[in-house]
Structure 1
Amino acid sequence: MTENWINLCIDGAVKAMTRTATFLRFGNGDWIMGYNRSFGNCSVFYVELWGILDGLTLIQDKLFEGVMIEADSLE
């Protein structure tokens, strides 16, 4: 993966409320940004899909050659 690629990492968690943590990094591993979002009562699978959508929305106007999406949901 080159610097013109971006890595979108999503991790969902369930406890009392479902949450997602999303991280964006350049292809060389340099940090771009990260954020958390709460979703209330729903499955981790849906939370991770929302994290992917949010991340892709944030980078849609940027000039990257490609996006590698990483999610850890086992559902």
Structure 2
Amino acid sequence: MQKNLSRRDSRIRIVLGALAGLLAVAVLVDAVAVPDRYASYAGVAAVALLANGLTCRCGLYRLLGVSTRD
């Protein structure tokens, strides 16, 4: 699969992935008063966003025929 994310798009996904990961950890240590299942949701989102951002590839963009790559 060819790279289809621009640097900007990639960096935004990395930052959002890191924030989602921090949220997942915060939920797990009860720093945020929400149900524990949200830690799982945030963790999955973190992994997906970080994987997309670090590889500069997005499967959904590929299916839709979209590319932000310059």
Q: Same fold (TM over 0.5)?
A: no
What range is the shorter-chain TM-score in?
0.3 to 0.5
Larger RCO (CA under 8 A, 6+ residues apart): 2
| TM-score of the aligned structures, taking structure 1 as reference length | 0.30
| TM-score of the aligned structures, taking structure 2 as reference length | 0.32
Rg (Cα) greater in structure: 2
Higher strand share: 1
